Amino acid sequence: MKLGVRAHDYGKMEIEKMAETLHREGYAAAQLALPKVFTGIERYEDITGKHLERIRKAFEEWKVEIPVFGCYMDLGNPDAEIRGYAVKTLKKCLAYSKEVGAKVVGTETAYPHLGREEKAAWYPYMLDSIQRVVEEAVRIDAKLAIEPVYWHPLESLEAVKDVMEKAGDKEHLRLIFDASNLLENPDETDQKAYWGEWLQTVGESIEAMHIKDFYFDENGRYCPTLLGKGVIRYEAVSEWLHKNRPDMYLLREEMNPETAQEDLDFMRKL
């Protein structure tokens, strides 16, 4: 398995400095959301060919792969202008991802936390957006990876299966699997069975995994924590990885640089 990190958890740096930092910290891979991670890039509209050339060169030099080019967009928003911007930006980033040598462009399907009725209302807009971006991915032979989240329109295994089937191209539409974003009720969930069902059903479409952990405080607020210290049970995920995808990218999210090595040790054991 290839261990990586969401690069902007280390803050914002010059391109070359970030590549060197990640290499020296012990990572073989990184998820890059360019406006969040590199100085001189504030918006996706700021990205130039020179930036892309520098990224490719620096990350190749420091031997840090780029499995995910992060471009998280509000794909299901009922507002046509917001949705149009999301689709347009993702299409541009598909081309950018090829320039830097990234495996996929990664996105969730909404920004806000949605209720049940909102998720249902946003679903057809999300599906339409994904289909239009996948058309571009096919055209230029790039890959889009969507990330299921229980408070977004792409909220469940059934929704993922439906979207993958209707998009109709598993080569150009992939998945990012984040267990923390799928565990709505930790105390009531048999995680071994739950993760087993997810991985058995859509595992072949997973391009990368986000690895993080959390707990809910006494007020029900989400609190990130060290890997292995929260509610996520990774045993079933680990078993599946060893049996089926020993080449998987494991990308640490919500990492604290001061405790990064503890998290890396945990990921190595996965």
Per-residue pLDDT of the chain (270 residues; tens, 9 = 90+): 999 999 999 999 999 999 999 999 999 999 999 999 999 999 999 999 999 999 999 999 999 999 999 999 999 999 999 999 999 999 999 999 999 999 999 999 999 999 999 999 999 999 999 999 999 999 999 999 999 999 999 999 999 999 999 999 999 999 999 999 999 999 999 999 999 999 999 999 999 999 999 999 989 899 999 999 999 999 999 999 999 999 999 999 999 999 999 999 999 988
pTM, rounded to two decimals: 0.96
Spatial contact of 216 and 188, defined as CB atoms under 8 Å apart: no
Spatial contact of 6 and 255, defined as CB atoms under 8 Å apart: yes
* Pairing of β 222-225 and β 213-216: antiparallel
pLDDT of residue 37: 98
Tokens of 108: 């969730």
pLDDT of residue 161: 98
End-to-end CA separation in angstroms for the chain? 9
* 218 phi/psi in degrees, rounded to 5: -65, -20
